[in-house]
Every structure is written in C-alpha cells, then in structure tokens.
Structure 1
Amino acid sequence: MKHFIKCNNCNHLNELKSEYMVLCEVCGTKMDNNFTQWRQRHPGATFDNYLQMVAIAENQIPPEPPKRKMDVFKSKSLKKNTLIVLITVLSASVGGWLGKEAVGAVKNNKKTTTQILDRQWMKKGYGEKNSLTLESPWELNPTSKISFPEEVKQIIEKIETFESPENKNEFLKVAVNILTYKPQAGVLNMQGAADGTMNGMKNQPGITNFLYDEQPYSVNSIPGFIQKGSYSANGFNYEFTSIGLIRELVCWQIMIILKKDDKTAQEAAQRIVKSISI
C-alpha cells in the first residue's frame, strides 16, 4: 500500500518512495515531518513506525471530485513566479541527485593518483548536436538516474544527463545536465536555477557545514553563474564547482565534486572547467 506525507508549505501529498524523502515534489521546500527529522525526536523508532504514526495511507485519502484537466500555461491566471518555482524545483532535483551520487563515489580517505593528469585526455561533445564540449580524463556516460516531479515535466522538452564512470583510484565526480525547456517556459530565470541547484544539494540527508560563493560567469558569451563551495557528509569533507549557463530555452549545468584538499583532483577540476565550450 502506498503512503504519503503532506507538505507543510503547499499541502501537496508526496508519495513516500523511500525513507530519505525530504523535499516536496512540487514546491521544493524541506518538509518538517520528514522521516529523518521525525526519527531524531523518536530515537529507536523504525520507518514502519513512521508510516503507521505519521504517514497517510492510500486508503485514508478521500476521493477527489472529478474535474476538468487544465493546462496551466493556457490559464491567464498563471503568474511569473509560478515558472520561477518550477525552474527552481527542476534545478533542486539536479542538485540533489549530484550531491547524493558524489557522496557515494567519493567516500574514502584516498587521494586521486597523479595518473589522471598524465594520461591522454579526451575532448568530446555532449547533448543534441554536441552542444556542450569539454575535456576530461574519461568519457561521460549517459544516465537516466535523475528523476523529476511530474508537476514540472510539463515545461521540459528534453533532458540529457551524463556522468563520469566510477573508478576506485580517482575521486572526482563530474556530471553534465542539459535541459531544453518548452516555449511556454518563456525567459528562463537564472537565479531560480542557481538557487535550486544549491537547495537540492544542501538539503540531502547527512549534509552539514554547507557553504558556497556565487559569481556571474559566461562561456562563449553565454551568460550564467559559477558556484564554488564545500560541505561535510558521512565523516568526509567535500568541495564542488557548479556552473549554470542559459541561452534562450536551453540550460546547461556542469557539476564537479571532489574530496576537499585533494590537490590532484583540484587541478583536474580546473582543467575541465577551462575546457568547457558551447
């Protein structure tokens, strides 16, 4: 049986697909009644206890009266801030996925070997018509791990995501995400994309000491932002570089996460950033 928790901000019923669900699928707000925080108030309690005591079972939800489906983009009442929220939530999904993936990939005390700098790097294009090109020690692989809330898919035309392969001797996570929006999205909100990415990362369970700096950035005259920061998770310290670039209806996002104070990984990350071209 499915179980749900209600967002304390927008009242949306979020299906509990795992015990790590923290953010509302619709508005992106951190829910006060998530399992992680509830367990802190109830030491020793299990996820099953949480489902019984807090969650709403599927058979407890009253049926909604039938209503005509409406395309929000045809509604004159749609406001500009609605689109900003949708873009922010999309970027939060990207940031959350990257943060979670990086913690899994960069999870020991070893440092990156210098072989990563000495080998032959490859320059490759990614996305439709190879719209983004970068140089890296390995080819990034297409992935479909990232998921987006159904409510925001209506403004997405295409999603293309790529990530670096796992390697036990290289503690550097690189990901590229290319979002093509539908014309209904209008002019994409740069700050919404920037804020969403960081919110998605810092709200992942177990992440603490999250700090970052944000500056305007551009590649080939395409405007965007660059965010550099650090955080702690599972007893390790990480640093990251996040780049977002927007032109018309396309948003390119590049994220690099590595172990803090790993000099070789830092040098590799700088080389990747300098090689980005659109």
Structure 2
Amino acid sequence: MKFIKCESCHHFNPIKSEYQIFCDACGKKISNNFKAWQQKHPNKTLEDYKTIIGVDKSKSKKPKKKLSPKQFLQRLTLGFLFFVLLFLGNKYSVKAFQFFHELAYPVSELLDKDWNRQYFSKKQVSFESPYLLTEDKTDLLLADEVKAMIVKMNNYNYNENPLFNILMTTVEYNESIGSVNLKGASNGSISQAMEKVNGTDLYFSDTDTFVNQYPALIKKGNFTSDGNTIYFKSITCVKNNLQMVYLMAVWIGENEDYEQLTDRLIDSFDVR
C-alpha cells in the first residue's frame, strides 16, 4: 500500500482512488493529489502516481532513538518557541538545551489553591500560575536579517514537570515588517513543532478574542507522536501591530487536571 502525506495534519492517506482529493483525517485538500499531479504529467496513470509520489508508511520515518517524555516535551516546546520568533520563514539553530526535573507536588492539589500573579515586560503582561516561569537564556543563533527585524525579545518557561510545560515569549518587531500576522504566527507554530517531533493527525480549533482591546487568538488541540497523544492550548496576542505575546501550555496524554490548569492560566492572561 502506498500513501500520500497531508501537509496540513501530517496524516498518511492510503492512495485508493484517482478522485482522492481531501485528507481522511483533517478534511483539508491534499495539495499534491492525483488530479493536480496529473495536470503536470498528463500521460501518467494512477499506478505511476503511486510509484513516483506514493510512500511506504513503514519506511517513511527515519529510524530514531525513542525520546523520553522529558526530552520529547523539551523538543516540542522549543519547536513552538522558535516558530513564534521566526514565523516569517527564516531558519535558526539551537546552541544549548535544558533538561527537565521531576515535579514535586500533585497538580490536582493546585487547582483548589490561590495562585500568584506573575508580571513581565514592566508589568504590561501578566497571568496567574501555580508555577514560577523563569527567563530562558537559551542562545538562539539567528540570521542577521532576522535580528534586524527584532527590537526586543524575551523568553520564559516552566520546565520542571516531565509531562507538562509552560512557555511565554514576548517579541517587539521593527517597523520594517509592517505588522505581525496573528493567525499566521499561531498556525505556523504548530506545524513547526510537529515537524520537530514527527507529529501526525493534527486537530485543533481557533477562537478569536480580545485581551483588553488587543486582538488575540486562542488555539486548542492535539496530535499524535511516537504513540503519544500531545495536547496543547495557547493564546497569541498582538499589541499595536508590532508587539506579540505568546503563552502556551503543552502536555503528554489526556489529563483533566492539566487541561483545567491551562484553562485557568489562559483565562487570567492580561496585556496592558
């Protein structure tokens, strides 16, 4: 059996018919479907398409060492972070990593407690959290043209739980970029993160909202990777066209406590 990979959700669709245009998983159009491909190759048949374009699902993934939950979330979180910083399509690399530590207290006990409000960016950004986010000093080797676009950038995270992570990034861009693409940054961050962990079968929903008077987008969904279901929820807010704040939580496996914690975290998010 040969498959065609969906560019939107990374699902492998079995090639069954010349009329197969949409992904079985997410319902979006497969850009390189047989009909589109045949327009460029009018003398080719469906069997040719299977041979040339189709992939063997079992051989499409490169052999890799299985990641521990700690390493997995580390790589996934960095995937979200990097695209937010470079959503215009530039390349980057990582110089250093941090490793996760075991969480000391059960999450369920935190849901009934009062949380402290944490402030960032001279108290212009804040939210309530039971976990303290600290500034991430990871050195990103950015291209000169990317650095020229960024006036100021700060990254914060909580990474002491092997199954749950919180990330926040604040970026102020140079006027030369025009304005920040809110939906583009939010959507692209997921694709970039999934690529880093060979994710497939992406499902998510978007909710347009405002944080005070500033436009924002809440994204919630899940995908699969290495036999795990990965859940995430994020909010992206754009202030005055050139300042962006991105807050995201991600966890491995279905967990009602993590979901409630994240809902409360994002509900308390404030930008002034």
Question: Which residue identity lines up with residue 88 of structure 2 in the other structure?
Answer: T
CA contact (8 A) 1:211 1:229 kept: yes
User: How far has the Cα of 1:140 moved from its partner?
Assistant: 0.3
Question: Which residue identity lines up with residue 176 of structure 1 in the other structure?
Answer: M
Q: In the alignment, which residue of structure 1 is the partner of 2:197?
A: 205
Distance 1:43 1:133, change over 3 A: closer
The RMSD of aligned alpha carbons is 3.8
User: How far has the Cα of 1:225 moved from its partner?
Assistant: 1.2
Matched, 1:251 2:227: no
CA contact (8 A) 1:122 1:137 kept: yes
Matched, 1:131 2:135: no
Corresponding residue SS for 1:166: strand
Question: Which residue identity lines up with residue 219 of structure 1 in the other structure?
Answer: V
Q: In the alignment, which residue of structure 1 is the partner of 2:88?
A: 88
Corresponding residue SS for 1:197: helix
TM-score, structure 1 normalization: 0.58
Aligned with 1:154 (options 140, 148, 164): 148
Matched, 1:191 2:183: yes
User: How far has the Cα of 1:177 moved from its partner?
Assistant: 0.3
User: How far has the Cα of 1:260 moved from its partner?
Assistant: 3.5
User: How far has the Cα of 1:189 moved from its partner?
Assistant: 2.0
Bigger share in helix: 1
Q: In the alignment, which residue of structure 1 is the partner of 2:72?
A: none
Distance 1:230 1:42, change over 3 A: closer
Distance 1:241 1:42 in 2: 27
Q: In the alignment, which residue of structure 1 is the partner of 2:270?
A: 277
Corresponding residue SS for 2:111: helix
Matches within 5 A, 1:1-278: 40=59, 87-89=87-89, 113-126=107-120, 128-145=121-138, 147=140, 149-150=142-143, 151-167=145-161, 171-248=163-240, 249-278=242-271
Q: In the alignment, which residue of structure 2 is the partner of 1:53?
A: none
Q: In the alignment, which residue of structure 2 is the partner of 1:11?
A: none
Name structure 2 gaps, 5 residues minimum: 1-58, 65-85
Distance 1:173 1:43, change over 3 A: closer
Distance 1:176 1:105 in 2: 17
Distance 2:115 2:230 in 1: 24
Question: Which residue identity lines up with residue 167 of structure 2 in the other structure?
Answer: A
Distance 1:234 1:129, change over 3 A: same
User: How far has the Cα of 1:41 moved from its partner?
Assistant: 6.8
Distance 2:229 2:100 in 1: 13
Distance 1:152 1:144 in 2: 18
Question: Which residue identity lines up with residue 190 of structure 1 in the other structure?
Answer: L
Paired-residue identity, % = 20
Corresponding residue SS for 1:130: coil
Query: Could you give the per-residue CA deviations for residues 91-113 of structure 1, whole angstroms, max 9, x where no partner exists?
Result: x97xx99xx99xx8699xxx954
TM-score, structure 2 normalization: 0.59
Corresponding residue SS for 2:193: helix
Q: In the alignment, which residue of structure 2 is the partner of 1:60?
A: none
Residue-pair matches, total: 191
Query: Could you give the per-residue CA deviations for residues 167-209 of structure 1, whole angstroms, max 9, x where no partner exists?
Result: 36xx421110001111212222223212321221221133222
Distance 1:191 1:44 in 2: 34
Query: Could you give the per-residue CA deviations for residues 134-172 of structure 1, whole angstroms, max 9, x where no partner exists?
Result: 00012101002363631322100111110014036xx42
Q: In the alignment, which residue of structure 2 is the partner of 1:72?
A: none
User: How far has the Cα of 1:254 moved from its partner?
Assistant: 0.7
Corresponding residue SS for 1:118: coil
Question: Which residue identity lines up with residue 228 of structure 2 in the other structure?
Answer: F
Distance 1:216 1:146, change over 3 A: farther
Distance 1:112 1:213, change over 3 A: farther
